[in-house]
Chain A
Amino acid sequence: MKITQFFTKLLDSGVVYAHCDIPCGVYTTHQAGIAAETVEKMVEKITTLPQDDSIETCNSFARLVATKEEWAEICKRELLILWTDYFKEEHLKDFPNLHTTFWMATKLCSKNKREVNADAAKQLREAVNEIAEMFKKAEGDKASTYRKEWL
């Protein structure tokens, strides 16, 4: 054994963390809510576009579809963060349908990316609202001041 290895082993005191997620604990449903509402609004705008082939209409259509898909993806990401990082095993006692709710909500995000479907967009907004209610109950008084404003 080399002398440096010997000293390294002798002095070894474990690990030090250089993490970004030790307990920053800052979570909110606000972003998912905005994203779901944006998706719904985009679907509404797409379905009320004039039925013609003008350049303006084609341009608007492309932009609205791109925005819808982008925000459906943001919504999915935000929900996945809450599902995997914020909610823990102990929350299952209070919210036995937690996994199903999140699973269905994230599936709705994908559906809204694929389709132009007003019902799916409404269901997504309702699912996000349901998750926001669960989050509010789970956070309770533990929420810091600014997070309460964001709930």
Chain B
Amino acid sequence: MKFFPILSFRVVGESMSPRYKNNQRVFVNRLAYLFNKPKIGDVVILRHPFKESTLIVKRIAAGPGTEVHLQWGRLFFNKERVGDVHYKSIFFDEYGESKKKWNVPRHSYFVLGNNPARSSDSRHFGPVHKDHIIGRVL
């Protein structure tokens, strides 16, 4: 990766649409979190927790200490429902198989795609440590 504080990437995929569309170019500030912590709502570039060589773009949805529940296709942060249906498959909902729970640890963040129906995010790979975050999208 180049040593510039600002980097440019091309977005591939639809998980961040409509804000960031397929093939859109984004600029990333690598120094954004040098002195500040990521804030909820920030769009960040991060290394995929299971595949370090893959960079992904997601939005910070919850910070450390948050209790996250996935139930009935919906997400709850500290027992408060957020957003719309996050898991579309009726099979998962009907049998309640998509019940999951995470406690976001210290220095970690729960990230989501803007387009939850077409996104692979913390619902699949869990909270992400801040060391995985490369920078904030400008």
Q: What residues make up the interface of A, taking CB atoms closer than 8 Å to B?
A: 7-8, 10-24, 26, 30-31, 146, 149-150
Q: What is the CA–CA distance of A13 and B4 in the complex, to the nearest angstrom? A: 10
* A18 & B20 in contact (Cβ 8 Å cutoff): yes
Point out the residue from A22, A24, A26, A150 that lies within 8 Å of B56, measured CB to CB. A22
Point out the residue from A13, A24, A149 that lies within 8 Å of B7, measured CB to CB. A13
Secondary structure at the A interface, as helix, strand, loop or mixed, is mixed
Q: A8-B25, A11-B6, A24-B124 are in contact. Are A18 and B11 (CB under 8 A)?
A: yes
* A146 & B97 in contact (Cβ 8 Å cutoff): yes
**Which residues between 8 and 29 of chain B lie within 8 Å of chain A, taking CB atoms?**
8-17, 20, 22, 25-27
* B8 & A15 in contact (Cβ 8 Å cutoff): no
Q: A11-B6, A146-B97 are in contact. Are A18 and B54 (CB under 8 A)?
A: no
A residues near B113, Cβ cutoff 8 Å: 18, 20
CB-CB nearest 8 A-B residue pairs:
A18-B13, A11-B8, A18-B15, A20-B118, A19-B13, A13-B7, A18-B16, A16-B9
Instruction: Offer 22 A-B interface pairs, CB within 8 angstroms, sorted by A.
Output: A11-B7, A11-B8, A12-B8, A13-B2, A13-B8, A15-B9, A15-B10, A16-B12, A16-B55, A18-B13, A18-B14, A18-B119, A19-B13, A19-B120, A20-B118, A21-B120, A22-B54, A23-B120, A23-B124, A23-B125, A24-B124, A149-B97
Interface hit among B31-39, B45-53, B61-69, B101-109: B45-53
Q: What is the CA–CA distance of A91 and B14 in the complex, to the nearest angstrom? A: 30
Q: What is the CA–CA distance of A26 and B70 in the complex, to the nearest angstrom? A: 16
Q: A22-B48, A23-B50 are in contact. Are A13 and B9 (CB under 8 A)?
A: yes
B81 to chain A, nearest CB (A): 22
B75 at the interface (CB under 8 A from A): no
